[in-house]
Amino acid sequence: MSESKAWVDAPFKLIPSSKAGAEVGKESKGAKQLASEMCIVHNVFLRGLNAVYNQARNVAARGTAKDKTDFANFAYGWAGMLEEHHHTEEAVIFPEINELTGVPGLMDSNVDEHKAFHDGLSAYTEYLDKVRSGNEEFDGDKLISIIDSFAVVLRDHLANEIDTLLGLEKYEDKCDWGAWFKAAIDKIVGPAMKKSEYRSDIFPMAVIFHDKTFDGGVWQEFPPIPWLFAVMLRWLFMNTRKDWWRFSGCDFTSHPKELPFG
């Protein structure tokens, strides 16, 4: 990686794996396993956000019309993935945790935090939707100022939620949180993967925003898919939107690469 070019680990700091109690070569269990899985996904969001933030001005200044449209689609896709994640948490994951622990409202603080960046995120998607559909010229400064309106609150939320999940250790007698979360995600991702739009437009972001070398390779097993399926995914689906995914900080095997407009 070039030292002088911006990458996807800043300005919005990634969450260290140690926060979730993860260690290289050691399998996490229970609440720590759940916190680890969530931390991986939250870092996926942060790398995506940094990729957008660090390239917006350069794409606007020296990109072609196609670069700008592709970048708008890339940035818009990131928000779609984030919104889907929060929707799933509010509709399925958090209510089930409240029920399993027998503590109504246990996860409410996280839902409140979702509300705190909702308006900023809406402004972001509305603006990018106009750009990607050709109704507005892409302005890097404008996008940066919209991101500045919500990103710190979002980053805080993504870190705070890990603490809430680690707190489930207190209820370890009621549930194997790691196994439960894995089953819950399989139930959601399994049917979603049957849709071609999900395979080509959403799931690839879990690959290109994940860095298998992060923190000494602590999370190199992510995403948890068989290698043959991973190869198929690359060949059949990731290439569909390769013009969008080129703006990411990792390649189709989740290894770091330079940002084209960093």
We find the least distance from the C-beta atom of residue 140 to Fe ion, in angstroms, to be 28
Task: Provide the minimum distance between the beta carbon of 45 and Fe ion in the complex, in angstroms, as a whole number.
Answer: 8
Q: Least distance to Fe ion from the beta carbon of 111, Å?
A: 11
With vertex at residue 207, the alpha carbon angle to CA 149 and CA 213, rounded to the nearest 5 degrees, is 95
Q: For the chain, state the CA radius of gyration.
A: 18
Q: CB–CB of 166/29 below 8 Å?
A: no
Nearer to Fe ion, 60 or 165 (CB): 165
Contacts to Fe ion from residues 143-162, by CB under 5 A: 161
Shortest Cβ 161–Fe ion spacing (Å)? 5
| Tokens read off for 98 | 């409240």
Q: State which residue, 181 or 203, has the beta carbon closest to Fe ion.
A: 181
Nearer residue to Fe ion within complex by CB, 6 or 15: 15
* Between 161 and 211, CB nearer to Fe ion: 161
Instruction: Return the number of other C-beta atoms located less than 10 Å from residue 128's C-beta.
Output: 24
Label residue 6 left, alpha or beta by phi (over 0 means left) and psi (-120 to 50 means alpha): beta
CB 140 within 8 A of CB 73: no
Nearer to Fe ion, 70 or 161 (CB): 161
83 Cβ partners below 8 Å, 6+ apart?
121, 125
Closest distance to Fe ion from the beta carbon of 38 (Å): 5
Instruction: Sketch the per residue contact string, 161 through 190, with Fe ion: x for CB under 5 A, - otherwise.
Output: x-----------------------------
Give the residues lining the site for Fe ion (CB under 5 A).
161
